[in-house]
Chain A
């Protein structure tokens, strides 16, 4: 009897640490953030003093004032996601099917950037794209960019930074799902009169869709909320919504607007992701 009881209880016991952790460090802060988002400044109070109210107009104001940054965030995030997919798919494919004994080494190389700080890696791109770097001079020599064009502090640099920083998040799920494909199904496709391209379209790509969906989500979601790349590699005209939230919170101490923007961003991402998953149609993922 007691053993049956403990069997029933066991799953709950296993859930408990995670639940306690998330409750303390996720649920409570989120509730707190929700409260903050509808606060109003205390009449006659100091900067940064707010009282609790239900001022939902904060949301409308926050959104209308920052439409441009929202749009830019999603535009950059989508561009970076597409670029990362274009780079990561062949990479993951090669590691999964062609790397042979170098498979593990290549996988380590994919995650090697994580051994250094995210900030450092982003700052490094300033050098890479700088006037003295190894990208700009050759491009100038080839006449691809003009003498007065610079690459740092541009939207191009921000998108490149985002692409680079989230590339492993694209590569790993793609690799995982490609690696699971039985190579015999590709042989079978060839055997059944499909050439290489058709085999890719009809067999390999559909079978790797779970990886494509997971990789694009893992890239798009953090990229949309990122502010480091825009802060380090961009200019005042390439601000993303993360930068706005950051400055509202730390510089202007406008907590309610920062909180409202955070929630709006969450909602927007949620809607886009839901639409995307519907479209991509991989039931096993959700």
Chain B
């Protein structure tokens, strides 16, 4: 029916995409390559341009400037129905007047495929809901609707599957379960998945590669571990998990390491983990990388002395401490409760230590709070 070349396969390339609306610009000069077969996440807070980017890939919006290629085919101005791309919509957008079977068969029928039974039944098996084929969408639970929306898209075996906050409407437990299932299904069907989310944990659980977006631009792109262990900007450091960012100054070199002064105390860190441009930096350390010890206890690695425990929260698997440092900054420390050592008490005078290799350095002129004010789970998912 529609002119869809399902033979079009290959990497998705966005080249210098800009999308401007009357009063603001949603996406700014964005270039991106998504390798065929990968599970790619676009992660960012509400309004960062991730959904607009997804809609341009789907063909629901047209870029103001720039081009989109799938393999060698330019699809920038192709209509949605002319692209071998399918979408799992936020809130699913199932057709309420059609049965589950007909919902899933919709795309196949539009492409003129007569015998749809085998394909539809196969994906119903895949999402483990074959018994619901004759029901209407409104009689299904949120989790079931989510799976049907996925089945309706993957039955077409698109070159690219787009997922727009696919788990946003599910409760926490179901969301965790679906994250694992989605990942499994992606491996099973071997399609390229592009996943848009504001939930950093969701992105990290599922994606091979994450692009963190902020204000219409990509802040950093890499594997979940890359982004978490070695963030390049304060926004990434704070948006993906939590970070302690301590103002400091590079004092000199020591082989492959930098010597850094943090409020009069010297620490060391690998050169290749510094993204600073001059000697003014923020030294970043993840809360779980810190160790706490009482004054006078032998310890190794980088050490900061003069801390006092301000707050203790026991949360079972770990204990979270807020330690106030001599320069007035509160540092966050997560200690695993795995060594039988009783937790420290409020008011204890402590040292903080960590392995130098876990340190990263950001530019000293950054806003150390960037990305923290966003509480991803509380946000409305609409952009």
Interface residues of A (CB under 8 A from B): 182, 184-185, 187-195, 198, 202-203, 206-207
A202 to B89, alpha carbons, bound, how many Å?
A: 19
CB pair B152 A192 closer than 8 Å: yes
Point out the residues of chain B lying under 8 angstroms from A193, CB to CB: 1-2, 4, 81, 107, 110-111, 156
- 0/1 string, B90-122, CB within 8 A of A gives 1: 110111110000000011001100000000000
- Report which of A189, A191, A198 forms a contact with B1, defined as CB distance below 8 A: A198
A187 to B60, alpha carbons, bound, how many Å?
A: 7
Point out the residues of chain A lying under 8 angstroms from B1, CB to CB: 193-195, 198
Known: A187-B60, A198-B1. A192 touches B107 (CB 8 A): yes
Residue of B nearest to A192 (CB): B107
CB pair B58 A191 closer than 8 Å: yes
- Report which of A187, A198, A203 forms a contact with B89, defined as CB distance below 8 A: A187
Question: What number of residue pairs across chains A and B have CB atoms under 8 A from each other?
Answer: 71
Additional A-B contacts beyond A187-B87, A192-B152 (9; CB < 8 A): A188-B94, A190-B79, A191-B60, A192-B106, A193-B4, A193-B107, A194-B110, A195-B1, A207-B97
CB pair B81 A194 closer than 8 Å: yes
| Chain B at the A interface: SS class | loop
CB pair A203 B95 closer than 8 Å: yes
Interface range on chain B (Cβ under 8 Å from partner): 20 to 34
- Report which of A184, A187, A202 forms a contact with B80, defined as CB distance below 8 A: A187
Q: Give the distance to chain A from B140, nearest Cβ to Cβ, in Å.
A: 15
Interface residues of B (CB under 8 A from A): 1-2, 4, 58-60, 79-81, 85-87, 89-91, 93-97, 106-107, 110-111, 152-153, 156
Q: Give the distance to chain A from B289, nearest Cβ to Cβ, in Å.
A: 43
Point out the residues of chain B lying under 8 angstroms from A184, CB to CB: 89-91, 93
Residue of B nearest to A181 (CB): B96
| Chain A at the B interface: SS class | helix
A121 to B149, alpha carbons, bound, how many Å?
A: 51
CB pair A194 B89 closer than 8 Å: no
Point out the residues of chain A lying under 8 angstroms from B91, CB to CB: 182, 184
Point out the residues of chain B lying under 8 angstroms from A188, CB to CB: 87, 89, 93-95
CB pair B2 A195 closer than 8 Å: yes
A-B contact pairs, 18 of them (CB 8 A): A184-B91, A188-B93, A190-B59, A190-B60, A190-B80, A191-B60, A192-B81, A192-B106, A192-B107, A192-B152, A192-B153, A192-B156, A194-B106, A195-B2, A198-B110, A206-B97, A207-B95, A207-B97
A213 to B111, alpha carbons, bound, how many Å?
A: 31
Q: Give the distance to chain A from B41, nearest Cβ to Cβ, in Å.
A: 20
A188, A191, A198, A203 pick with most chain B CB within 10 angstroms = A191
Point out the residues of chain B lying under 8 angstroms from A191, CB to CB: 58-60, 80-81, 85-87, 89, 153
